[in-house]
Chain A
């Protein structure tokens, strides 16, 4: 505890407030933390869904759209076959009941052990501003499914596309309350430009991200 007190004391001294914040100041700061006031946002004169799809492509994801959830296995099978990708993998438990076998696919609802080639996830919501998926870690929303496989397929209901990250935080507070262990904002496949500033996809995370919007 000594280091903690020393550091706090030095901060207060550096700010010329040896006595620390007054009760009033402290209350004002806590109130500011709870107010969730947004900073200035750039203009967002666009419809969220078309913007989301457009920005996904800019971030080098690919995008598809289906009418309903039951069409997902067919759409996924088509994507995997067209790109000569393995037709088996893992998915979040919420997709365990889909008709995988009928589409010639094999998907198991479990976390990734590291060797799985394709991972299917949902998303807590999607953010139109930059074509971003907002993923929460959790019992049924394994963090590894969107990370370890070479191909990440993300299913996004059209009704869950919001404008900005700030809208995502509001949804999280309203629907969940607490923060999960990890919130990941994913915008396209893993990439680097560490060698000669040349962009390469697929460093440690997925080589490709395929987003399927479900109209419902």
Chain B
């Protein structure tokens, strides 16, 4: 996916001023936070499971090579054709190669965030293939030519009226306004495609080493269709999705769906192991799994490693006061919110996503709700340090900090400058004692409010007086 994270500040300002988006985000925030909180209460040992889940994810990373080899051995034994690829471009090339070999014309696709990373749909269309997203949210996004704004609810930024206009235009049907009617219209439109598509493409929530399975978590049924109806099924998955056993997956699923949508369980949990068996009456004749690095090993060997624990529930963004107000598009790449502020710099380069680690108040709400205990604020803080170390911050900020450091290490000069500053501030404050506009560099602060002017005395002056008085009092 094309990265536009450089525009974070500009786009987030636009989003804050967009009343339609503000309405949609307000609606989502209320629902997602409350439903998660309620469903967590069903587990009387939530923290214990959370701790165990974090350990399983770490185990998966520590022994990733062995677990992937075991996974491959078991998958191959079940008849799965396994491919390993290193870069996003190679993912697309491999899918196209498989499609060409099978003379595929129409593809149905269930959700894959990795597919968003590699811009798979675009590549398939350029190769002359007809590809249709089938998750309702993804379908809406594809039809409107947008990108997802949330990893679980991709069309959360759109209103029902937006969808009504879009469907009326694209489906050339009477404009419906009822949400259930719109949903059922999408069902009707997509059903024939499920039945006559040649290839299905899915992602994987997890891959299970013990059995060589891939598994997906869905609510709509499109994931089951995609993995069952077409004659060829291709699953694409990152190497970090590896989980040792079915028991481990079962445990993590108790956290995943509750953290994501507040459901005790998703409607469909589908574990796929190999293609159709000889006697089976349904299922694809060929099942391919593409195992993808695309930057994962780089993160594995870095101090951002814990981010690979992520199970893509979206709880961090649902609970983030920044995400809640600007939505996902401002983040400018595949993953928004706190986890996106770490994964985006990790996968596309810190220099291309300079504002993201700073788009947080470090309130740690994300860290508290993360079901696999990723220390999100710590990782963001580390990225901020890296920005400074690598000289990536804007020159004004760097120059300003250098000047401040020069003065701050010279107490006499610092005291003098502070005194001058305080006097000027008092004069500028005039009778109201308020500054209407701060000097360039800090002027944003006074865009919507006044700044209380200094009273003429510096902190040092006040502190000196206080300690003198204190000493006098006790003596």
Contact = CB atoms under 8 A, between A and B. Distances in A.
A166 interface: yes
B265 A132 contact: yes
18 contacts: A10-B293, A10-B300, A14-B297, A25-B63, A33-B209, A33-B244, A37-B245, A39-B53, A41-B45, A42-B254, A137-B282, A138-B280, A182-B271, A193-B153, A193-B219, A203-B187, A203-B219, A203-B220
Contact of A58 (B137, B187, B264, B268): B264
Contacts of B24: 196
A36 B32 CA distance: 33
Nearest to B300: A14
B64 to A, nearest CB: 5
A165 B44 contact: no
Nearest to A13: B301
A196 B339 CA distance: 23
B134 interface: yes
B296 to A, nearest CB: 9
Given A36-B247, A180-B273, A181-B275, A11 B184 contact: no
B273 A29 contact: no
Contact of B246 (A32, A36, A137, A200): A36
A37 B211 CA distance: 15
Nearest to B30: A197
Interface string B16-45: 000000001001100110000000001111
Q: Which of A40, A42, A114 gathers most chain B CB within 10 Å?
A: A40
Interface string B143-168: 00000000001111011100100000
Given A195-B160, A203-B222, A11 B43 contact: no
Q: Which of B48, B86, B90, B281 gathers most chain A CB within 10 Å?
A: B281
Contact of B210 (A33, A40, A43, A130): A33
Contacts of B227: 182
Interface stretch (B175-183, B368-376, B403-411): B175-183
Nearest to A164: B250
A74 interface: no
A12 to B, nearest CB: 5
A29 B67 contact: yes
Nearest to B71: A33
4 nearest A-B residue pairs (beta carbon): A205-B221, A14-B301, A39-B251, A194-B137
Interface of B: 24, 27-28, 31-32, 42-45, 48-49, 52-53, 56, 61-70, 78, 84-86, 90, 134-137, 140, 153-156, 158-160, 163, 179-180, 182-184, 186-187, 190-191, 194-195, 209-211, 213, 219-222, 224-225, 227-229, 239, 244-248, 250-251, 253-254, 261, 264-277, 279-283, 291, 293, 297-298, 300-301
A169 B154 CA distance: 32
A40 B49 contact: yes
Interface stretch (A116-124, A153-161, A184-192): A184-192
B281 A142 contact: yes
B297 A36 contact: no
A11 B60 CA distance: 11
B163 A195 contact: yes
Contacts of A38: 247, 251
Contact of B276 (A26, A32, A39, A181): A181
Contact of A179 (B63, B211, B261): B211
A205 B224 contact: yes
B225 A42 contact: no
A137 B221 contact: no
Nearest to A44: B44
A84 to B, nearest CB: 17
Contact of A195 (B49, B90, B155, B300): B155
Interface stretch (A1-9, A63-71, A100-108): A1-9
A179 B244 CA distance: 15
A79 to B, nearest CB: 20
Given A15-B64, A190-B221, A195-B183, A33 B70 contact: yes
Contact of B271 (A42, A143, A179): A179
A20 interface: yes
Given A8-B68, A14-B297, A42 B42 contact: yes
Given A6-B86, A40-B49, A203-B221, A114 B195 contact: yes
